[in-house]
Homo-oligomer: A and B are copies of this chain.
Amino acid sequence: MVETFEGVRCPAADLTGFIEDLFTRAGADAPSAKAVTKAVVDASARAFDTHGVRLVPHYIASIEGGRVTGKPRVTFTRKTPSVGHVDGGSGFGHLASYRAIEEGCAMATETGVAAITAGNSSHHGATGCYTAEAARRGFAAIGVTHADAMVVPHGGVKAFYGTNPFSFALPVPGEEPMVLDMATSSIPFNRVFLRRATGTPLPPDVAVTGTGEPTTDANATEAVLPLGGAGFGYKGAGLAAMVDLLSSAFTGMPHGFRLPSFSGPDFATPIPMGHFFLVLRPETFQPAESFYGRVTEFLSDLRNQPTRPGEKAMAPSDPEKPEAADRARRGILVDLTTWDALKEIAGRYRATVPKAS
């Protein structure tokens, strides 16, 4: 869901150069600086703002505090023709994840499918950045990552699951890839912080107090509910469990509940996160013409469905596409709080701030 906000606009190329420079000055090597910058700028370009440029100050704090290694030793092990593992060397999760997609695409070119795990990684931003990257290269992909606890089990009173996103992306002829990228909770915890700041209530059936009572009061909220809410949250929780197991048992990392908190205050201890990616080569499954013909037909049928007044039947990532197109024309939108924080970091490192309007 696209939320509008006040901000400055900066062309993607200028913003990319600026953020890469900040990471480099803060101690990242070139591959790390490029990977984390590519991911956050891509997320902001696709109007996925919760996981866009606004995370840069947090990531800078992570490298400064030592939680994330700026010059990691990233290794790749190909275990079988179709299974591989990336050890992220406690570096940025974005670097490990793009590497997983790169290797996954190469392997899927040979065998049609590749499962790539990543371990000793860290927060990788929007999981959809990596499935979208695979889709831009002509592959379908599934990607998941666990995270530290913010979501109660169904019927629970205390956070156990991360918001554990699930992503799926697919190339679409003549348009940007279709990218599903969803938390397995109804809302991200960031929405709670935002509503505390704005004093507006949360929607019903998405958040609970410390005793598991449903609440719409952001200040009384201690954790969020799995997708499906009080009635059907066992489904969202089931998806969260799958994401957690794929990201931990398959990668050799602890499950989400045992991870240190992403929000700090400790920015020194690494958070050993795992991710799981699956890359599929469409042409191995069906002739390209048949495959893409069916994708196009599906999207056309869906988008032409009748709706309630003011609504439009949409495929995943359709809601963000008009805003993404606008940002491609007018520059990437960065909220004022984040822009001020970037300028503060630039001041400390004597970096040049690009023109923004």
Q: Does A83 contact B (CB under 8 A)?
A: yes
Q: Does A156 contact B (CB under 8 A)?
A: yes
* Alpha-carbon distance A10/B83, docked complex (angstroms): 45
Q: Does A249 contact B (CB under 8 A)?
A: yes
* Alpha-carbon distance A245/B178, docked complex (angstroms): 11
Binding site secondary structure of chain A: mixed
Which residues of chain A in 120-146 are interfacial with respect to chain B, using CB atoms and an 8 Å cutoff? Answer: 140
A155 touches B315 (CB 8 A): no
Q: Does A349 contact B (CB under 8 A)?
A: no
Residue in B closest to A119 when the chains form the complex, CB atoms = B286
Q: Does A28 contact B (CB under 8 A)?
A: no
B291 touches A249 (CB 8 A): yes
> Beyond A111-B111, A155-B313, A229-B229, is A249–B295 a contact (Cβ under 8 Å)?
yes
Q: Does A153 contact B (CB under 8 A)?
A: yes
A248 touches B298 (CB 8 A): yes
* Alpha-carbon distance A199/B194, docked complex (angstroms): 43
B241 touches A156 (CB 8 A): no
Residue in B closest to A248 when the chains form the complex, CB atoms = B294
CB distance from A261 to the nearest CB of B (A): 16
Chain copies in the assembled complex: 2
Residue in B closest to A312 when the chains form the complex, CB atoms = B155
Q: Does A330 contact B (CB under 8 A)?
A: no
CB distance from A201 to the nearest CB of B (A): 13
How many chain A residues sit at the interface, stated as a range, is 35 or more
Pick the contact of A231: B180, B186, B245, B305 (CB < 8 A).
Answer: B186
Q: Does A35 contact B (CB under 8 A)?
A: no
A284 touches B203 (CB 8 A): no
Residues of B within 8 A of A257 (CB): 301-302
* Alpha-carbon distance A254/B286, docked complex (angstroms): 13
Interface mask (A70-114 → B, CB under 8 Å = 1, otherwise 0): 000000000111110100000000000000000000000011111
Q: Does A306 contact B (CB under 8 A)?
A: yes
Q: Does A345 contact B (CB under 8 A)?
A: no
Pick the contact of A307: B82, B155, B227 (CB < 8 A).
Answer: B155
A308 touches B211 (CB 8 A): yes
B282 touches A180 (CB 8 A): no
> Beyond A180-B241, A232-B227, A305-B156, is A82–B81 a contact (Cβ under 8 Å)?
yes
Residues of B within 8 A of A113 (CB): 80, 82-83, 113-115, 278
A286 touches B160 (CB 8 A): no
Given contacts A155-B311, A248-B298, 12 further A-B contacts (CB under 8 A): A80-B284, A154-B314, A155-B308, A156-B308, A158-B306, A180-B242, A186-B235, A206-B232, A227-B232, A241-B298, A250-B285, A258-B301
Residues of A within 8 A of B (CB): 1, 79-83, 85, 110-115, 117, 140, 153-158, 160, 166, 168, 170, 178, 180, 182, 186-187, 203, 205-206, 211-212, 227-229, 231-232, 234-236, 238-239, 241-242, 244-245, 248-252, 254-255, 257-258, 278, 280, 282, 284-286, 290-292, 294-295, 297-298, 301-302, 305-308, 311-316, 319
9 A-B pairs whose Cβ atoms sit less than 8 Å apart in the complex: A82-B82, A153-B314, A156-B313, A157-B307, A241-B316, A250-B282, A252-B290, A255-B298, A258-B301
**Can you list the 5 inter-chain pairs with the closest CB atoms, starting with the nearest?**
A155-B311, A83-B112, A249-B294, A82-B82, A153-B313
